[in-house]
């Protein structure tokens, strides 16, 4: 069908730009609007777009479920790891200024890592929720 | 326009139209937030409200049915309760400071300190990111844990567990 | 006490009232969740409106601007938005399971099935 070809071509053109924009929002969140949450949602939206156009099994071959599950837990681990790192290097929990020789660059590094962790978790969770909803078959009834 | 959208959402019974109008409402809210100088919040509301919420609601409509049943009786008591709540809140907003005044009480305590010393202490010009990730980083850790918990909860509720043992041969998937 | 000062808040209160009405008056579970998200969005508006300073700009430090809007409500509402979508996702997952167990998502029919079963 002609319309399906149009959708496929547009999707293949747009999805790389969406992913690059998500990376831009993630790392430019220090200098403009943006940050971890927005970037995570945009990454999830790009993969959901791909899954809507090309089908869920294709998308699950591209971003398999074990990878998404790992991302969900990894982001929280990064965040808590930065906190414990601050504890190990002599400060309190979630102190960033001990992470580097210069306190301001330590803060900058801490914020970067923390936002990256948040972005990974948010994109993982949004994508996981979509996989769960889309993978559920319609009309199944549990035994009551 | 947002009020008109919300009234339409209340009255419509076709749930697909309700979901699309909900996405429209989120976009309108995002533009209002940009006018109110909340650019980070507007970006998050647009992506999360108009993007993820709509996808999840459409997924749910696919798995259930997409038409709402007509109400059995006229809902006068809920309307009264909602109006009384709204009236009390509107009366409460009369105590709020004047809109847009730069020297009202809420701009006097912590906010000027963050705005003046944020860049010097953290090196990040976006004060919202600096407050979110550094000054109030502990709250953000809690929020990330909440998102993680929601993901785990959805996995627990909706994952298909396949059990292929010999005495389950006739049963198929456990719900 | 200019009336125009409060138009912003009153519109937000109207949206909140409509959201509350949808939650308590409609029986369809999906519509209740949409009403809940409308309610949450109107609360964001109530929270962020007092933070705006007329003549200010977004709280991103730049040499060209001197007056910035208050960044603290933005931080709170950023958290609130993401928690709101987490709640919506869990609520919708529950609705899917309820539909599979009862065959319907109308509150009246669910109560009738429960009452009939007891």
- Picking from A122, A125, A142, the nearest residue to C101 by CB comes out as A142
Which CATH architecture is the domain C3-117 placed in? Orthogonal Bundle (1.10)
Secondary structure element (H or E) that encloses residue B27, with its range: helix B15-35
Q: Give the per-residue pLDDT at B169.
A: 47
> Which residues fall within 8 angstroms of residue A56, CB to CB, at 6 or more apart?
A131, A134, A135
ipTM of this predicted structure: 0.88
Average pLDDT over residues A67-94: 87
Q: Give the per-residue pLDDT at C1.
A: 55
Which range is least confidently modeled, A134-143, C29-38, C79-88, C98-107?
A134-143
Spatial distance between the Cα atoms of B136 and C77, rounded to a whole number of angstroms: 13
Residues in chain C: 118
pLDDT over 70 (residue B172): no
pLDDT over 60 (residue B163): no
The model's pLDDT over B71-103, given as tens digits with 9 standing for 90+, comes to 666 778 888 888 898 888 888 888 777 777 777
Q: Print burial letters for B133-151: b (CB count within 10 Å at least 16), e (below 16).
A: bbbbbeebbebbebbbebb
Residue A25 CA to chain centroid, in angstroms?
12
Q: Closest residue of C to A29, CA-based? A: C60
- Picking from A31, A33, A140, the nearest residue to C100 by CB comes out as A140
pLDDT over 70 (residue A114): yes
Q: Are A79 and B43 in contact (CB < 8 Å)?
A: no
The model's pLDDT over C23-81, given as tens digits with 9 standing for 90+, comes to 888 888 888 999 999 999 999 988 888 888 887 788 888 888 888 888 888 999 999 99
What is the distance between the terminal CA atoms of chain B, rounded to a whole angstrom?
43
Q: Are C92 and B59 in contact (CB < 8 Å)?
A: yes
Query: Where is pLDDT greater, at B135 or B104?
Result: B135
Rg (Cα) of chain A, in Å, rounded? 19
Question: How far, in Å, are A104, C4, C68 from residue B100 at the CA level?
Answer: 33, 11, 11
- Find out whether A39 and A25 touch, Cβ atoms under 8 Å: yes
Q: Print burial letters for C46-75: b (CB count within 10 Å at least 16), e (below 16).
A: bbbbbbbbeebebbbbeeeeeebbbbbbbb
Mean per-residue pLDDT of chain B? 81
Q: Give the per-residue pLDDT at B170.
A: 45
- Find out whether C93 and B158 touch, Cβ atoms under 8 Å: yes
Spatial distance between the Cα atoms of A100 and B175, rounded to a whole number of angstroms: 51
pLDDT over 50 (residue A143): no
- Picking from C4, C45, C85, the nearest residue to B32 by CB comes out as C45
Cβ of B128 under 8 Å from any chain C Cβ? yes
Q: Give the per-residue pLDDT at A124.
A: 93
Q: Give the per-residue pLDDT at A126.
A: 92
Domain boundaries, chain A: 2-135
Compute the Cα dihedral for C28, B4, C50, A37 and give only its sign.
positive
Q: Give the per-residue pLDDT at B171.
A: 43
> Which residues fall within 8 angstroms of residue C7, CB to CB, at 6 or more apart?
none
Block residue for tokens 């209002």: B32
């Amino acid at each position: 069908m002609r319309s399906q070809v149009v959708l496929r071509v547009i999707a293949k053109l747009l999805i790389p730009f969406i992913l690059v924009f998500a990376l831009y929002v993630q790392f430019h969140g220090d200098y403009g609007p943006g940050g971890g949450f927005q970037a995570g949602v945009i990454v999830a939206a790009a993969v959901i777009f791909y899954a809507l156009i090309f089908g869920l099994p294709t998308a699950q071959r591209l971003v398999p479920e074990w990878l998404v599950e790992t991302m969900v837990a990894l982001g929280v681990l990064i965040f808590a790891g930065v906190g414990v790192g601050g504890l190990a290097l002599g400060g309190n929990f979630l102190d960033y200024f001990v992470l580097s020789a210069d306190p301001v660059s330590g803060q900058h590094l801490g914020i970067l890592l923390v936002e990256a962790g948040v972005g990974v978790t948010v994109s993982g969770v949004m994508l996981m929720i979509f996989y769960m909803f889309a993978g559920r078959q319609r009309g199944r009834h549990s035994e009551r | 326009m947002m009020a008109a959208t919300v009234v339409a959402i209340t009255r419509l019974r076709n749930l697909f139209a309700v979901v699309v109008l909900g996405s429209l409402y989120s976009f309108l809210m995002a533009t209002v937030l940009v006018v109110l100088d909340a650019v980070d919040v507007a970006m998050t509301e647009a992506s999360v409200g108009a993007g993820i919420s709509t996808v999840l609601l459409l997924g749910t409509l696919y798995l259930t049915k997409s038409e709402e049943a007509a109400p059995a009786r006229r809902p006068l008591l809920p309307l009264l309760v909602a109006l009384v709540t709204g009236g009390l809140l509107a009366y409460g907003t009369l105590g709020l400071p004047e809109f847009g005044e730069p020297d009202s009480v809420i701009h006097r305590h912590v906010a000027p300190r963050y705005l003046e010393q944020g860049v010097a202490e953290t090196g990040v010009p976006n004060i919202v990111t600096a407050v979110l990730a550094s000054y109030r980083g502990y709250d953000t850790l809690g929020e990330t844990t909440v998102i993680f918990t929601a993901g785990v909860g959805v996995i627990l509720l909706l994952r298909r567990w396949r059990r292929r043992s010999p005495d389950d041969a006739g049963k198929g998937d456990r719900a | 006490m200019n009336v125009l000062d409060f138009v912003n808040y009153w519109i937000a209160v109207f949206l909140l009232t409509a959201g509350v009405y949808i939650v308590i008056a409609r029986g369809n579970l999906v519509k209740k969740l949409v009403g809940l998200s409308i309610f949450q969005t109107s609360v964001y508006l109530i929270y962020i409106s007092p933070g705006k300073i007329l003549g200010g700009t977004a709280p991103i430090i730049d040499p060209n601007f001197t007056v910035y809007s208050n960044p603290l409500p933005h931080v709170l509402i950023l958290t609130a938005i993401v928690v709101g979508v987490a709640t919506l996702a869990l609520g919708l997952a529950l609705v899917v399971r309820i539909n599979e167990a009862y065959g319907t998502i109308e509150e009246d029919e669910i109560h009738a099935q429960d009452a009939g079963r007891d």
